[in-house]
Amino acid sequence: DTAVSQTPKYLVTQMGNDKSIKCEQNLGHDTMYWYKQDSKKFLKIMFSYNNKELIINETVPNRFSPKSPDKAHLNLHINSLELGDSAVYFCASSQQTDQPQHFGDGTRLSIL
Amino acid sequence: KNEVEQSPQNLTAQEGEFITINCSYSVGISALHWLQQHPGGGIVSLFMLSSGKKKHGRLIATINIQEKHSSLHITASHPRDSAVYICAVPSNFGNEKLTFGTGTRLTIIP
């Protein structure tokens, strides 16, 4: 069974569109994260939720809105996509904020 | 804010060699993470350590809190160890927001 699953794996779309990436974990973890990995392969935290509450919100454009309907899910919605949003987005989870993180396989977003 | 430096950036070695990857950081931390990113893109957490040494199979991670330095060692390296190895530390002590190093690309030649 996949521990942290993200969908879709690939997302190709036009500039200006709105898209969502879904993340689900079946590990019973309390904390979930979204990371962005740019073309230089540099990972950066975007958001973190602990028990459905937002605990980390980095300097991310407000076009990006995370939503956590329950502690097993953390979805990422992006409005008005821009060329610079092209990247690989990783979801992760951990039991608590000071525990090892388990990563999803990533979603490669390409903006045309 | 914690600054993280990894070295080397790229490392190519022959199968069987002993590998060392280094990570230095600037601000005291509660724990340090070592991650492995496969050529296919997936990321796996290898270690999380706050002191001393941890071992898992052929992988060993050490940390010196006073010197703000950690090393990841691979014994009897194998081509399947080829990956990018990334260290990550909390941005500030007690803050679990991680700052990532730029990664070390390891290639093991058969």
Res A1 pLDDT > 70 = no
pLDDT the model gives residue A65: 93
Kindly report which listed range (A7-21, A41-55, B31-45, B93-107) carries the lowest average pLDDT score. B93-107
Res B94 pLDDT > 60 = no
CA pair distance A17, A112, nearest whole angstrom = 10
Interface of A with B in 61-90 (CB under 8 A): 88, 90
pLDDT the model gives residue B100: 93
Across the interface, whether the CB atoms of A90 and B88 are under 8 A apart is answered no
CA distances from residue B16 to A9, A45, B3, B89 in whole angstroms, order as listed:
35, 35, 32, 30
At B67, is the pLDDT very low, low, confident or very high (cuts 50, 70, 90)?
Answer: very high
The mean pLDDT value for B20-33 works out to 90
- ∠ CA A102-A79-A2, rounded to 5°: 20
Integer distance in angstroms from the first to the last C-alpha of chain B?
40
Residues of A in contact with B1 (CB under 8 A): none
Contacts for B5 with CB less than 8 Å, ≥ 6 apart: B23, B24, B25, B101
B1 interfaces chain A, CB cutoff of 8 Å: no
Q: What is the per-residue pLDDT across A53-78, written as a single tens digit (0 to 9) for each?
A: 888 888 788 999 999 999 999 999 99
CA distance B77 to chain A (A): 24
Res B28 pLDDT > 80 = no
At B19, is the pLDDT very low, low, confident or very high (cuts 50, 70, 90)?
Answer: very high
CA distance A33 to chain B (A): 10
Question: Coil, strand or helix: which one is B87?
Answer: strand
Q: What is the per-residue pLDDT across B38-54, written as a single tens digit (0 to 9) for each?
A: 988 899 999 999 999 99
Kindly report which listed range (A23-27, B33-37, B48-52, B78-82) carries the lowest average pLDDT score. B48-52
- ∠ CA A71-A75-A81, rounded to 5°: 160
Query: What is the interface size between A and B, counted as CB pairs within 8 Å?
Result: 44
Across the interface, whether the CB atoms of B96 and A45 are under 8 A apart is answered no
The dihedral of CA A100, B2, A43, A81: what is its sign? positive
Tokens of A92: 């992760």
B48 interfaces chain A, CB cutoff of 8 Å: yes
CA distance A38 to chain B (A): 11
Name the phi and psi angles at A83, rounded to 5.
-55, -40
Q: What is the per-residue pLDDT across A78-105, written as a single tens digit (0 to 9) for each?
A: 999 999 999 999 999 999 877 889 999 9
Interface of A with B in 42-61 (CB under 8 A): 42-45, 48, 56, 58
Higher pLDDT, B99 or B97: B99
Q: Are A87 and A80 in contact (CB under 8 A)?
A: no
CA pair distance B47, B86, nearest whole angstrom = 11
